[in-house]
């Protein structure tokens, strides 16, 4: 059964006055003024804008943020709240870290290090506000756009770029590991929802867009069809699925990095793959290593129960040999 996420929303509300297209936030330290400067992305239900801080406590020429505008006309209040709650859950890790500093006995050092390792792969929320027509979610600005742009440029296609594809896959897997261990399923993993904070060769990526993230309290959930064609697991077309749909999408992203597009665009071929494994377009991976092919096949097993778990993904040799590249902590 689905439940709502538990993280509190109020902690993240920014007291806001909107005037002349600017937003004024009343903070304990004074008032901050922000203005939209560039459209970063446009989705089905809203837009994401880059904003600059014009004045106030955080004012500095380099102070920027990204703000997602979600129209209230679609009556998506529940989904919007869930997105804020999911973002807050992943940003809250910061707060745990702070509390550990003051009360070192409450958590072990190892646990703290783990949390930090996961947190660096989630886009961080800065707060939210609303007006009559929109919800606004303020986030850290992730400088280098989304992964799709790099895939299209062929950044991961050459044989020598395969380790970079593995490094990006490992980072997304770390974020998924945190989500899945905490009973959360992203449900719309795809290159457009992966943001690049540092481009290659030392890639650093963050998972974003938690608009349809769900709590799965049990192994199975019955719900409407979710996700984006090309990254949707075969079982999503049925009525039951688990967090294994995110593992499928991770495999599809890895495939896409090596070949420029996901393996199954046509749902009919995808349906056929459930019974005929030969429908998988192996030929397109001819310039990839055996380990890479084995990883993708393990993540994209047609039957969810045969797919790798997130723990198996993280332990897979294609990813573990990247450990030295991904071990560096980024802000
Ligand atoms: N925090 C951010 N920093 C920089 N760019 C962002 C940020 N969030 C989103 N974007 C850009 O906006 C696009 C859409 O954002 P997303 O959250 O996926 O919205 P939607 O729900 O409309 O898909 C992303 O693909 C990315 O290019
Ligand atoms: Mg998106």
Question: How confident is the chain (331 residues) per 10-residue block, as mean pLDDT?
Answer: 51 91 90 95 86 78 86 72 79 46 32 67 91 91 97 97 97 94 90 96 94 64 66 84 94 98 92 93 96 97 96 97 51 45
Contact (Cβ atoms closer than 8 angstroms) between residue 51 and residue 65: yes
Peptide bond into 276 cis (omega under 30): no
pLDDT at position 212, please? 75
d(CA 32, CA 25): 5
The label of the residue with tokens 């992966």 reads: 194
pLDDT at position 92, please? 61
Selection from 215, 167, 177, 208 nearest residue 191 by Cα: 208
Residues 282, 284, 288, 294, Cα dihedral to 10°: -20
Selection from 274, 292, 289, 137 nearest residue 209 by Cα: 137
Contact (Cβ atoms closer than 8 angstroms) between residue 18 and residue 7: no
pLDDT at position 315, please? 97
The label of the residue with tokens 């806001």 reads: 16
What's the count of helices (H) and strands (E) in the chain, helices before strands?
10, 14
Selection from 52, 121, 47 nearest residue 91 by Cα: 121
Ligand 1: which of 36, 37, 40, 134 to mutate, judged by most atoms within 8 Å of the beta carbon? 40
> Where in 20-90 does DSSP place strands (E)?
22-27, 30-42, 46-55, 64-71
Ligand 1: which of 146, 147, 149, 210 to mutate, judged by most atoms within 8 Å of the beta carbon? 146
Q: Which ligand is closest to the CA of 146, given by its number?
A: 1
174's tokens: 């770390």
Contact (Cβ atoms closer than 8 angstroms) between residue 183 and residue 217: yes
Question: 41: which strand partners?
Answer: 48
* Residue owning the nearest CA to atom 9 of ligand 1: 48
Query: In the structure, which protein residues have their CB atom closer than 6 angstroms to any atom of ligand 1?
Result: 40-41, 43, 46, 48, 66, 68, 123, 139-142, 145-146, 192-193, 195, 208-209, 211
Out of 188, 209, 246, 276, the active site residue is 188
End-to-end CA distance of the chain: 36
Ligand 1: which of 36, 37, 38, 41 to mutate, judged by most atoms within 8 Å of the beta carbon? 41
Question: Which pTM does this prediction carry?
Answer: 0.88
Q: Which ligand is closest to the CA of 43, given by its number?
A: 1
pLDDT at position 28, please? 85
pLDDT at position 89, please? 77
Q: What is the 3-state secondary structure (H, E, C) of 210-247?
A: CCCCEEECCCCEECCCCCCCCCCCHHHHCCEECCHHHH
* Residue owning the nearest CA to atom 13 of ligand 1: 41
Question: 215: which strand partners?
Answer: 3, 184
pLDDT at position 98, please? 33
d(CA 22, CA 10): 22
Q: Which atom of ligand 1 is nearest to the CA of 141?
A: 3
Distance 101 CA to ligand 1 centre (A): 33
Distance 205 CA to ligand 1 centre (A): 13
Query: Residue 271, exposed/middle/buried by CB under 10 A (0-12, 13-18, 19+)?
Result: middle
262: left (phi over 0), alpha (psi -120 to 50) or beta: beta
pLDDT tens digits, one per residue of 241-279? 899 999 999 999 999 999 999 999 988 899 999 899 999
pLDDT at position 101, please? 32
Active site residue 276: no
Kind and range of the H or E element at 94?
helix 77-102
pLDDT at position 113, please? 56
Kind and range of the H or E element at 139?
strand 134-139
Residues 144, 145, 151, 157, Cα dihedral to 10°: 10
pLDDT at position 3, please? 37
């Amino acid at each position: 059964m689905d439940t709502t996420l538990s993280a509190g929303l109020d902690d993240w509300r920014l007291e806001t006055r909107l005037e002349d297209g600017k937003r004024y936030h009343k903070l304990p330290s004074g008032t901050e003024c922000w203005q939209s400067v560039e459209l970063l992305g446009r989705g089905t239900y809203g837009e994401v804008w880059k904003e600059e801080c014009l004045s106030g406590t955080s004012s500095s020429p380099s102070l920027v943020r990204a703000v997602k505008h979600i129209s209230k006309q679609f009556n998506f209040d529940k989904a919007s709240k869930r997105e804020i709650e999911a973002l807050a859950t992943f940003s809250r890790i910061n707060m745990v870290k702070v509390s550990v500093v003051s009360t070192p006995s409450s958590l072990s050092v190892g646990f703290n290090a783990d949390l930090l390792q996961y947190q660096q792969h989630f886009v961080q929320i800065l707060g939210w506000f609303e007006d009559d027509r929109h919800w606004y979610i303020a986030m850290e600005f992730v400088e280098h756009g989304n992964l799709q742009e790099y895939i299209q440029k062929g950044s991961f296609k050459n044989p020598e770029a395969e380790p970079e594809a593995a490094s990006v896959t490992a980072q997304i897997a770390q974020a998924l590991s945190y989500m899945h261990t905490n009973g959360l399923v992203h449900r719309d993993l795809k290159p457009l929802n992966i943001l690049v904070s540092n481009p290659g060769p030392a890639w650093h990526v963050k998972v974003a867009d938690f608009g349809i993230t769900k709590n799965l309290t049990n192994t199975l959930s019955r719900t409407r069809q979710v996700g984006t064609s090309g990254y949707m697991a075969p079982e999503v077309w049925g009525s039951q699925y688990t967090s294994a749909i995110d593992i499928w999408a991770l495999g599809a992203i890895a495939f896409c990095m090596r070949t420029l597009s996901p393996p199954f665009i046509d749902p009919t071929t995808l349906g056929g793959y459930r019974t005929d494994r030969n429908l998988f377009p192996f030929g397109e991976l001819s310039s990839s290593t055996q380990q890479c092919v084995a990883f993708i096949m393990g993540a994209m097993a047609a039957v969810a129960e045969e797919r790798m778990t997130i723990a198996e993904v993280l332990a897979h040799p294609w990813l573990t040999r990247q450990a030295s590249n991904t071990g560096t902590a980024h802000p």
